[in-house]
């Protein structure tokens, strides 16, 4: 989630019984709710380093305990430095540590239900995990937290608003869980008879939490087959989803509106809705396999959930290989891989005929 949402949620938690720990609780919860994103300091070494470490150890078990303890120490020392006459009842270091660990843990748990995902178990396991319920910025969750925090500053209003805010959060998550399941159930109808059988070597995803990277490039011997289908949330509405079918040689995507599908009479449906599906090629040529050994490709492929590979040759005979994460493309890319429209969530590698890496870059 975005840091404004994390901050508002930390402030909301400070109005729960957690604030009984004493003075400093609010500061600890707000700081702890943002602490895992301290990994942004890695941008000083470039975007590639940030991508390598983003939502890594700071979002894992060691980060939860370590950052929680660090925040508690900062707040504990700061509160006593600013209040030297001890005129207020300060929270103990132990209480602040417990409260801060709760704040950091809530940050991680709020990142998990986003389609962006988080490396939940790093550094012990560097796989990404996601539940595909929320966009990075959920305007409905943000509005609910902001409204309940803003209105009513008297103590009795604060307590009531906390209950309202947490209830609205639970309702939002509940609606999205139901809508996500419904979106997945519409996939066979949307993709139609063109959807191939499941690949024999495809890995299995969990019943609720998705995990990646898990798929290696498949050989041509398996033919055209299905690896998985995902339903990704959108920013506009909890009832609008993007279906992504990962095939052995391409991705097929289609945006669906569950309300529109429910209200539209059967006779108004297109005769063949699967003809509207957008196709993104994913061609792992020998040049792509060579390019995947570069540092940029290794880091990007470790991050990307749906990397679509495209390759083309330039006038010098070099191969230009580009991977684009289908999660972050509005439509199927239709420009040449060496064109000017490389997205931010993409990686480009130039490989010489000898296999030597001539150039590599992330994003635009």
Q: What was the pLDDT predicted at 339?
A: 42
> Which residues pair with residue 9 across a beta bridge?
none
Q: What was the pLDDT predicted at 85?
A: 60
- CA angle (189 as vertex; 185, 190 as ends), nearest 5: 100
pTM here is: 0.89
Please give the C-alpha separations between residue 21 and each of 6, 14, 72, 332, 355, in angstroms, as whole numbers.
21, 10, 12, 53, 61
Question: Average of pLDDT values for 49-68?
Answer: 96
Under DSSP, is residue 7 helix (H, G, I), strand (E, B) or coil?
A: helix
pLDDT for 172 beyond 50: yes
Q: How confident is the model at residue 79 (pLDDT cuts 50, 70, 90)?
A: confident
Q: What was the pLDDT predicted at 200?
A: 80
Task: Take residue 359 and report the two structure tokens written for it.
Answer: 């150039």
CB 126 within 8 A of CB 119: yes
Q: What is the pLDDT of residues 175-206, one digit of tens each?
A: 999 999 999 999 988 888 888 888 887 766 66
Q: What are phi and psi of 163, to 5 degrees?
A: -60, -40
The structural domains of the chain, with segments of one domain joined by +, span 3-130, 178-280, 286-362
Please, what is the average pLDDT of the chain? Answer: 87
Q: How confident is the model at residue 363 (pLDDT cuts 50, 70, 90)?
A: confident
pLDDT over 70 percentage in the chain: 86
Query: Cis peptide leading into 213, omega within 30 of 0?
Result: yes
pLDDT for 334 beyond 50: no
Q: How confident is the model at residue 333 (pLDDT cuts 50, 70, 90)?
A: very low
Q: How confident is the model at residue 83 (pLDDT cuts 50, 70, 90)?
A: confident
Q: What was the pLDDT predicted at 220?
A: 61
pLDDT for 364 beyond 60: yes
Q: How confident is the model at residue 81 (pLDDT cuts 50, 70, 90)?
A: confident
């Amino acid at each position: 989630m975005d840091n404004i949402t994390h901050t508002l949620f930390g402030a909301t938690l400070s109005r729960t019984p957690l604030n009984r720990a004493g003075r400093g609780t609010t500061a600890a919860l707000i700081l702890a709710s943002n602490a895992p994103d301290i990994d942004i300091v890695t941008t000083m070494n470039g975007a590639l380093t940030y991508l390598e470490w983003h939502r890594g150890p700071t979002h894992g078990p060691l980060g939860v305990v370590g950052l929680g303890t660090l925040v508690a120490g900062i707040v504990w020392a700061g509160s006593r430095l600013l209040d030297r006459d001890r005129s207020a009842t300060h929270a103990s270091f132990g209480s602040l540590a417990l409260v801060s660990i709760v704040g950091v843990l809530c940050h991680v748990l709020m990142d998990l239900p986003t389609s962006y995902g988080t490396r939940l178990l790093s550094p012990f396991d560097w796989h990404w995990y996601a539940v595909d319920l929320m966009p990075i910025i959920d305007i409905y969750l943000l509005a609910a937290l902001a409204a309940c925090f803003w209105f009513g500053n008297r103590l009795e209003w604060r307590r009531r608003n906390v209950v309202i805010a947490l209830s609205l959060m639970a309702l939002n998550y509940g609606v999205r869980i139901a809508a996500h399941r419904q979106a997945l159930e519409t996939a066979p109808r949307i993709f139609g008879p063109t959807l191939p059988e499941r690949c024999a070597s495809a890995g299995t995803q969990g019943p609720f939490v998705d995990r990646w990277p898990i798929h290696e490039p498949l050989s041509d011997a398996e033919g055209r087959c299905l690896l998985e289908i995902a339903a990704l949330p959108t920013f506009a509405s909890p009832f609008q989803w993007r279906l992504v079918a990962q095939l052995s040689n391409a991705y097929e995507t289609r945006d669906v509106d569950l309300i529109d599908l429910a209200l539209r009479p059967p006779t108004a449906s297109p005769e063949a809705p699967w003809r509207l599906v957008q196709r993104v090629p994913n061609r792992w040529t020998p040049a792509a396999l060579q390019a995947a050994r570069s540092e940029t490709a290794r880091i990007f492929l470790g991050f990307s959930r749906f990397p679509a590979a495209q390759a083309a040759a330039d006038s010098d005979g070099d191969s230009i290989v580009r991977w684009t994460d289908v999660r972050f493309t509005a439509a199927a890319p239709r420009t040449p891989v060496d064109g000017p429209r490389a997205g931010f969530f993409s990686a480009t590698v130039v490989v010489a005929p000898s296999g030597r890496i001539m150039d590599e870059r992330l994003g635009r």
